[in-house]
Every structure is written in C-alpha cells, then in structure tokens.
Chain A
C-alpha cells in the first residue's frame, strides 16, 4: 500500500507538470457516452482486422485499437509487467496456453467472464479448451478460447521431388504413419544429398512428439515437476536424439533470421506446422515460392501446439465493453473469420464443423485443404496438461537439444543438463 501511495504521489506530480500541455487521463471519456477506445494486446497474428471494423460499425461509439508484438517471447514479459504494475495491459489481452497457467494462479487480476454472461457459451467450445480457461473450482472464467494449434507437417515439394520422394500430400502423409517412419523417410532424404536438411531444428519435432505422448508432460496435474520420471518426456527425447544422430537436423534455430530465410531458400524440407504457422511460412517464403510448400498430416495421432485465449484484465476501465468484444471475437463466426485471415484454427466445435472451415483451402500451399487436414488433427486430440513453468522448462530442454546438435554434449550429458536446468527454473 505504501508503494501505491508513492506511485500515486508521483503520478499526481507528473500530472501537475504536464497539466499545461495535456489533461491527465483525458482519453477516459467517462464524461461522454461516445468515444470509448478498447485497446487489444496481441502477439503474432490474430487476424482480427476485419472483425474490428465489423464490430465498430455495429457498436457506435466503440473504437478498437490493437497493439501487437511479433514474438510471443517478447510479448510474455511485457504482459507480465503490465499485469504486475496494474497498468498498460489495455482492455483485452491475448494469453497463449503456455503462459495461461501462470496467470490462472492469480485469477483476481482478470475479470470473471462468467459475470458477463459467458456461461451460456460453453457449448461453443471444445470441452478441454473451455476448461483450460476456468479456475479449478469452476467459479471463475479467466479467458475464452480463440484458436488451437492444430498440427500439420509442412514440406517443400521441390526438395521432395529432388530426393525422389512423392510430392502429393496424400502420398506424403502415407510416408509417415508414425515418427519411426518419419525418421526412415528422413534418412532416405538425407541419402539423396539435396543440400537441404530434413527439418529445421529438433525443438519443434521434439515438442510434437511430446504432445502426443500422454495427458501431461513436464508437470503432473498437481503441478509437481516430473520431467525426469515421466516416461513420455524420455520417449520423445530419445526419438529426437535418434533423428539428430541420423543427421536429419539443420540446427537452424526457430525464429532466427536464418530460419526465416530458410523458408525462402529451401534450407530444410519439412517442418511441423501448427495451423497458425502457415501465415508465418507464407510471409517468410514470399510469393516467389508459392506452391512450393504444401501441408500433409502429421506423424502419429493428432497433436496440438499453442493456441490462445482472450481475457479482460481488471485494470481495464471498460470491463463490460471489453467482455462483450471478447465474446464477439471468440464466437464461432469470429473464429471462422480469424481462421480465414490468419489460419488460426478454431477452438469452437461449431466453427470446426462449419463448411466454411471444412472446405477451406489455402491457395499458397497448392490449394491444400487445410480446414480438413487440421480438423482431423484436432479431432484425434487428447488435451495435454501444462504446468506453471511449462514454457521456461521447454526452452531449457530445447537448448539442451541444440547443444547436442552442435556436438557440444553427448546425449546423456545433454539430458542431465536439461533436467538440472529444469529443476532449477521450476523451483
């Protein structure tokens, strides 16, 4: 409280200084009914631009301003600061599923959407997606689901042709009913010496396998770190090590400039792609590579990676309006529009079964029926529980895999390193 008093004093002081130039808190607009501006904080691509326009036209007096930060890794710490300091978070924030858990521990920082009539919307969502945003006692709904990271396997048709592999997406999908078959295909590809690697770096392949292994990964459902005792983690790890040792990895870190350029230059032949990544690939590979990338089914049974929620922080001055906007953006219609704009795959069952999604093809990817491919991937899905420090722990495991790719550590030493680092960050 003392701190807050000091801050308030400081704020008043600053206001006095600035009073001559601007009126403090002038944007509030509480005096008039018109001119409420809702600030929406997002990362990556949510594909909401058209939805905002539509909402503004049907809700006179509401203006929507989206403030976007490209990388989730940059967005998360900013969001933490806004939430911790109770200022700056705007009216609507996007929460990725990996960081959601941390915020679920402090539900008081968010408006309970059940108080704003969200309870009737439960039937709109995949059951587990709804539950992820709900507190354990079921009393508070922190966030409404936007998309799920339905998985596909993106591949370069020209590189596959060069290596003498089939290029048709049905046949490519048939090459890898499971990850062992994916490894065997990779070995064939490497033997053909196309100059490209089979996948970018092991982190994403590893994460895909991990998410297919069971109902939990690094944490059990009581939030105990079980990275060294959960056989699922070790299974995914061992298979990844096998792939690295077979020379399948290009050791090109995801989200690095080399990785971005790699889509354009064809430095790697496959990459597990959650639906939201299609937009990234299209942007990085550029129009000159249209139809060179295609999407096939992912090895193994369905998988999910990523996916987000929208929430209203209690620091918002327009909680009611913001909650209405969240309900609109996460509605089946909103999710279908976002899917078309940015390939964010719907978490609403209604939207998934909608012909607009089912029959949707992506022109950039050889007209791949992405609606159908991702829809099947989502249906084969079992939800996976992610613990509080899920993302930091996964960052460390990925680092250990990179060290292995660099030849700096033996598989055993890398595993020991990952477990040790994970235990320290999760303490």
Chain B
C-alpha cells in the first residue's frame, strides 16, 4: 500500500519535467487534494438538492401556519403541540407499528427459513432462487389491487376459503386486526423473496469447515442453524431489519389501494388501517394544512431514527453476548 501511494511522488521527481515550476506543483497538489471531491460531488449535489433541502424546507414549513395560499405566519412549535394531542395521529402511529410487526416479523422469519432451504443441495436450485425473487418485480399497485380482490367481502378468495372451513365471511375492512392481516399479507408476499436472497448471499459466505467441525462434534442440523448460520449472518439480519423497519414506517400504497372509494386516504371508516404516511398525506394534500402535514412528516423521520437506533442496539447487545 505504501509503495503504491509513494510511487507518483517518485515519478514526479524522476521522470517529470526537468524543472517542475511552482505552477505545475500547485496544479499537481490541487489535482491530488481537490479532484477526489470533484468525483464525489455529483452525489452530494443531488443529495443536497433532493434530500437535504426538502428535509430542511419541510422543517421550516412545519413551524408555520401554511395553507394553499402559502405562508400564514410563524407559529413556532404549535403544530407539534397540536400533534401530540391529536388522537388520529396516535391512532395512525399505533396502526403503523402494528402492521410493522405483523409484516416484518413473519417476513424475516420466513425469509430466513427459505434462505436456509435454498442453501441446501437440491434439484432445480437456480429456478427456485429466481422464483422467490419474482414478487419484487411486481408493481405495488398491481399487488394492492389483486390482494384487495382476494380480501373482498362479497366475492373474495380469502372468504371463499374460510367458507370451505365453515368460517363466516369476514368484512376485512371493518376491523383493525382483519385489515392489518390483509395489508401485511401484501407486504410479506412482496418482500420475503428479496430478504431470503440477501440471507442466502450471507449464508454462502460462511466457511464450510465450521459446519464440518460441528457435524463431527455431533451437532444436529437445527443446532448448526441456530449456533452457526444465524450468528454468522448477523450483519445481513441487521440490514434487513433496518430496511424493513423503514419500509414499514413509510407504508402507504398498499393500505391506500386496500381502502378504496373516494376517501380511501382515511384508511377505513374509523381509520382502522390508516398509516402515519397516509395521515401526513391527508393533512397536507386533502385538508391542505401543509404546516401540520410537515410536522407529521418530521415525526415520521424522528420515529424511524428512534426505531433504527433501537434495532441497532438490540442487535449489537445480543451480538456482544453471543
């Protein structure tokens, strides 16, 4: 490494122009210290314009009373104060967290089992590996429409199957638990394959001799899975947990399409499945209270950060003990 880094300096002294001018040396220095920044600049410029600026601007709006005609004056943290006393907001948080658990936990557990199965020597492996990835290329809207039909009250497949088991028809939109199950089913179906593939990649990087040693010591397949596979793929698990948490906090399209009708953004007659992103949209773009909507948006960001930190520490602490 040191060799590589020093070589250009040597080159400049040996094979360079006979007498390096002051200007040439300056350009050379500029090239070496400045150009890396130039190379990474496109990302940071775009991030600044489309990431950082909207973030700051949203914070600015959230401190104002801001309706369709624009700024109606600075109100400080009034929007946030109202938000903390707003039962619809807390209901949306509750729904979001509920669906987050209902979709993330089964999603990751099933993905883990699936990845383990795909890590075995079986026939047609390539086909299966491709097949689990198919749902992810389906558009969210299509998933939403198809699953909404499956969970239709009058003519849905879910109720049809329940009927065969002698269970009376369920109005999936009417209750929290039933609507959450329907929406989580969409999320799970779409993302299980993606997570399974990430786990699979991590599993393939585990040295085989660990398993051989464990086999010689008489460890069962199940014990090998929990004692070797799972700890070894912890970084991948952490990644998927964080990504699905963020995805879950931003859940929007699936419940919106599931909702249907002219006022679908309310997420059910009693807001049974209104997520916090839907609530943000309702406030900002249906009630045209941009200040309030921006405050909701910032609360979502803060919540995601808190949840990510919790996830991070949980995985760290557990990892440290293992």
Contacts and interface: CB of A to CB of B under 8 A. Distances in A.
A77 B261 contact: no
Nearest to A394: B263
Contacts of A102: 68, 288
A399 interface: yes
Task: Give the interface SS of chain A, mostly helix, strand, loop or mixed.
Answer: helix
Contact of A402 (B69, B86, B148, B269): B269
8 contacts: A84-B69, A102-B68, A102-B288, A253-B260, A400-B269, A403-B269, A407-B174, A408-B269
A84 B269 contact: no
A257 B260 contact: yes
Task: Give the interface SS of chain B, mostly helix, strand, loop or mixed.
Answer: loop
Contacts, number: 75
B261 A253 contact: yes
Interface string A112-154: 0000000000000000000000000000000000000000000
Interface in B191-216: none
A399 B266 contact: yes
Interface string B47-79: 001000000000000000000111000000000
Interface residues of A, number: 39
A395 B174 contact: no
B65 to A, nearest CB: 12
A389 B288 CA distance: 10
Contact of B270 (A109, A257, A409): A409
A317 B152 CA distance: 48
B261 A81 contact: no
B205 to A, nearest CB: 42
Contacts of A398: 263
Given A81-B285, A84-B69, A71 B260 contact: no
Given A72-B262, A109-B69, 8 more contacts: A77-B288, A106-B69, A255-B260, A257-B148, A399-B263, A403-B270, A406-B174, A406-B269
B286 A255 contact: no
B122 to A, nearest CB: 40
Nearest to B148: A257
B190 interface: no
Contact of B286 (A10, A77, A83): A77
Interface in B114-173: 145, 148-149, 152, 154, 171, 173
B287 interface: yes
A17 B149 CA distance: 46
